[in-house]
Structures are given as structure tokens and as C-alpha cells.
Amino acid sequence: MSIRTGHLSALLVAFALGATACGSDGGESLTTEPAGTADDGSPDDATASDVSGSITVLTNRTDIVDTVFADYATKFNEQYPDVDVSFEAVTDYEGEVRIRMNTDDYGDVLLIPNSVTADQLPDFFEPLGTVDELGAEYRFITEQAFDGQAYGIAQTGNANGFVYNKAVWEAAGIETLPTTPAEFLADLQLIADNTEATPLYTNYAAGWPLGQWESNRGSISNNPDYLSEMARTDAPWSEGSDHFVIDSLLYDVVAAGLTEADPTTTDWETSKVDLGSGAIATMPLGSWAIVQVEEAATNPDDIGYMPFPNQVDGTYYSTANGDYKVAINKNSDNKDAARAWLDFFVDESGFAFDQGGISPRIDGENAPQLAGFAELGVEFTELAPPPAGEEGLTGSIDSEAEIGAFEPIYRQRIIDAARGQLDESKEDIFADLNSRWAAARSELGVE
């Protein structure tokens, strides 16, 4: 080509690539001025006809975003016709949204990632009201609150325990649910002896299901102050503590050979199907999983839910905690529309009921999947909020110690030790965890 054309094309290419490389505002939704509402930064009550604009809602539910959520949006638009709701389903919700929060662009309504510490909440989210005010209407308000202000309302609530296949348990000859860990082990042994099913499936390879064991803390001793006390002790894994009981049960189940043959090749999606069909007998998961397993099951009536096999004074306890909390982006341009959606979603959409969970509203209806708990007389333990100034302390100690209560790493280590891959015994691991916890406490200067 001639010199002139070559030069021109070089300029064009440089311009085109430079323009695309910088400035990724293309995805931002257009904002229209909401008519008649004061834009003073705090979500005001506005009449339905006033609220308008476009909002983006982030969710981790990639499986139902196009179906269930689309239906909710249609229902929402009946009340707020001028609000345009669009959804963004994020597969790796925790990782991706945390990184996005370093910018201003993380949707208008989103779920608060679990890794955000309480003192960071005011930097990223809009305060929704005081804890006293909202605590009168909603459960689990203190879980994402700081300094008396609530920043997120739970989208649903979860009970904790084990999902089990009732048909398999009956076929093994078990008539009543276990009330102690020893009885639980004996029952699993019966399943191993009398049926073809894997008594308990750990989902070791997927990793995150191992964090579900952690949610049972507080219910073993029915102690709502368990987390605050954990931050004050140098040995949380001492004999008889909640963590000792939970992790010992995991160790003992694996050591007795009552789990899958090769944990490194487990698969989450097929495990749901297998639990539904009876190839697996039990899986430790929050109550949110009941609906998913029922959908994968040939006979949904086979699926049951049991609390952690432990009783205090003859009563079962199960920790109830909020699922992800819905919150409003502090940098949102449409806070009124966002608040309208948030209120609709937690109050009227029926999400918690559809997902088989505890309603976030105190006066709301719990899902039928938890009716079995009522029959067993299970009572819920809700962990108390930490004292002022200590929000997120237990989590900080946990991160500093690099233990990861909800991460898979330390429970994978327990499973590896139990199946003989590591030279450590249960006591060795607990001693090591305790010493790391103590070191982290002194590092952070906690008395």
C-alpha cells in the first residue's frame, strides 16, 4: 500500500483499539431523573407513581434468574410500572462482586458478600434503617449491621442440619432420628451394612459444601453468644465445644469408612441427583438445599431434613441464620427504585417460601419443607449480635489465623487425616487449630 494509506490505517487502528481499551462505561444502565422525589441520598418513601428509573440487581442464582426472577420482576412492575429491573447473575458471586466493589459499579441492588467485614459496610452500602426499627419487622437484621444501622435484609433464612433420604434410612432399619453423634454414627453404619447407598457424602472436591458444617455452631450448646465467646477463648476446639463436636463428628464418620470411596472425585451436581435417587443417604447442608434436592429427586417425598444429632435437655436445636442479605449500593443513582425493589423482594415476592426457607419477616410464613422440624420439636438458635465495637471480630481472627471457618481447607485436612492420608490425629489437628487461633488473637491484640 502507499505510504499515505499505511499511515492512515495505522492511525485508525490505534484510535479504534485505544477507544475500546479505555472507558468501559458501555454497560451502565441509563438513568432517568426520578420525577418528584428528593435526591438527598437516603431512600425516602415515595409513592409508586413517582418511583422510576432503571436498576440492576445482582444475584448468585444463575439457575433461576431467567425464570423465577423474571416472574418477580413482572409482579413488581404491576406496582411500579416505571421502574425497569434488569438482573445480572454472577457465577462466582463472592469473588467477582468483591472485586467489583473496588469500583463504583456493582449493581444497584445486590447481595452482601460474606467476606465483607462489618466495619466496611458503611463504605459500600446504603443504611436501610436502624437495627431497632427494622429488627421489629425482620429477622437476622443484626447479621449485617454496624453501629446501630442495618445495611442488609436477609433474602431468606436457613435452618441447619442434614438432608437425608427417608426411604434409604427406613430401608436400613432406622426408626427414630439420632439424638447424639454416637447414635448418628451407628445409624450410618446400619445404612452401610444394610443398603447399597453411601451413608454420608462429603462433597470434598467441590469444597464449599464442607463450609455447611460450620453453620451448626451455636446450636450444639444452644448458646446464642457462641461467636463472641469464641473470640475470647484461646482454644475454641477444646473438648465439648461446638466446634469440637462438629469437627469430631466429621472426622469419626470418615474414619469409620462411612463416606465416599475417593473424596477427590466427588461432584456436587450428581450428588444432588444421587441423594434424590437413594445412592447417597445423607448430606450435611443448609435447608436451602432441600428444594434443589427435591427437584433432582425421582420421588420428592423421600427427601427429609434432620437437625444436627445433638440434644440439649432433650430438645433438638438448629441454628437459624439469614441467607445472603439484600443491600443497596451506596453509589447507586436510583436509590428509591432500588429500595422499592428491595422491599418488594423481601416482603412480597415469596422468594423465601419458594426456596424452602425461613421467612425474613418475623410475621412471615415459613416454607413447608421445615414442617418436619416442628414435628420433632426442633427449636431455633439465633446467634446474638456481637457487642458494639466487636463486629466481625471472630471473622478477623479466623482470617488472620488462616483457618477459614467457611472455607474447605481445614475440613479437607480433617478428612485427609481421617482417611489415613496425613499422619495427624484428630487431637493433633485440633491442637494446631487452637494454637493458630491463639496466635491470631494475640496478633490482633484481643484480650
Partner 1 sequence: MQVQTAISTEIPSAPKQRRRRWRRDSTPYLFLIVPLVLLVAFTYIPVLNMFWYSVTDWDGLDKNKEFVGLENYRDIATRPELYGVFKVSLYYFFATFIQLGLALYFATILSFNTRFQSFFKGVIFFPYLVNGVAIAFVFLYFFRPGGVLDSVLAAFGGEGLQRPWLGDRSTVNYSLASVSVWRYLGLNFVLFLGAIQSIPAGLYEAAQIDGANRWHQFRYIIAPGIKPVVSLSFILAIAGAMSVFEIPYIMLGGANGSTTFVIKTIDTAFKFGKVGLASAMAVVLLVLILIVTAIQRILVPDEGGELT
Among 402, 425, 435, 442, binds partner 1 (CB under 8 A): 402
- Cβ–Cβ under 8 Å, residues 260 and 202: yes
421: contact with partner 1 by CB under 8 A: yes
Residue 175 φ then ψ, to 5°:
-105, -40
Among 422, 431, 438, 439, binds partner 1 (CB under 8 A): 422
Burial category of 233 from C-beta neighbours within 10 Å (exposed 0-12, middle 13-18, buried 19 and up):
middle
388: contact with partner 1 by CB under 8 A: no
- Looking at the Cβ atoms of 9 and 79, the one nearer to partner 1 is 9
Q: Which long-range contacts (CB under 8 A, 24 or more apart) does 97-103 make?
A: 97/58
In angstroms, give the least distance from the CB of 140 to partner 1.
22
- Looking at the Cβ atoms of 13 and 362, the one nearer to partner 1 is 13
- Looking at the Cβ atoms of 117 and 179, the one nearer to partner 1 is 117
Among 46, 55, 73, 116, binds partner 1 (CB under 8 A): 116
Subset of residues 144 to 203 that bind partner 1, contact rule: CB under 8 A: none
408: contact with partner 1 by CB under 8 A: yes
Q: In what order do the strands lie in the sheet with 129-130?
A: 129-130, 149-150, 145-146
In angstroms, give the least distance from the CB of 180 to partner 1.
30
Distance of CA 169 to the CA centre of its chain: 28
Among 25, 40, 78, 123, binds partner 1 (CB under 8 A): 123
Q: Choose one: 139-147, 213-221, 236-244, 403-411; the region binding partner 1 (CB under 8 A).
A: 403-411
| Cα 200 from Cα 178, distance rounded (Å) | 14
- Looking at the Cβ atoms of 291 and 439, the one nearer to partner 1 is 439
- Looking at the Cβ atoms of 36 and 95, the one nearer to partner 1 is 95
Give the closest residue to 303 by CA, choosing from 317, 320, 289.
289
Subset of residues 361 to 380 that bind partner 1, contact rule: CB under 8 A: none
Among 409, 428, 435, 442, binds partner 1 (CB under 8 A): 409
Residue 62: CB atoms within 10 Å: 11
Subset of residues 19 to 48 that bind partner 1, contact rule: CB under 8 A: 21-22
102: contact with partner 1 by CB under 8 A: yes
416: contact with partner 1 by CB under 8 A: yes
Q: Is the dihedral of CA 142, 148, 149, 151 positive or negative?
A: negative
120: contact with partner 1 by CB under 8 A: yes
- Give the total of residues touching partner 1 (CB under 8 A): 43
Instruction: Tell me if residue 316 falls in helix, strand or coil.
Output: strand
Report the residue count for the chain: 447
In angstroms, give the least distance from the CB of 328 to partner 1.
17
CB neighbour list of residue 343: distance below 8 Å, 6 or more residues apart: none
- Cβ–Cβ under 8 Å, residues 83 and 52: yes
295: contact with partner 1 by CB under 8 A: no
- Cβ–Cβ under 8 Å, residues 121 and 150: no
70: contact with partner 1 by CB under 8 A: no
Subset of residues 244 to 263 that bind partner 1, contact rule: CB under 8 A: 261-263
| Cα 318 from Cα 383, distance rounded (Å) | 11
- Looking at the Cβ atoms of 204 and 324, the one nearer to partner 1 is 204
H or E stretch covering 89: strand 83-89
Instruction: Tell me if residue 364 falls in helix, strand or coil.
Output: coil
At position 78, the amino acid (one-letter code) is E
392: contact with partner 1 by CB under 8 A: no
**Contact flags string 340-359 toward partner 1, x per CB under 8 A:** --------------------
Among 62, 264, 315, 435, binds partner 1 (CB under 8 A): 264
Give the closest residue to 303 by CA, choosing from 393, 204, 370.
370
- Looking at the Cβ atoms of 204 and 430, the one nearer to partner 1 is 204
Distance of CA 306 to the CA centre of its chain: 19
Q: Are β-strands 280-286 and 160-165 bridged in parallel, bridged antiparallel, or unpaired?
A: antiparallel
Q: In what order do the strands lie in the sheet with 153-154?
A: 83-89, 53-59, 109-111, 325-328, 153-154
Among 407, 424, 438, 444, binds partner 1 (CB under 8 A): 407
Interacting residues toward partner 1 by CB under 8 A: 2-4, 6-7, 10-11, 13-14, 17-18, 21-22, 95, 98-99, 101-102, 115-117, 120, 123-124, 204-205, 207, 261-265, 399, 402, 404, 407-409, 412, 416, 419, 421-422
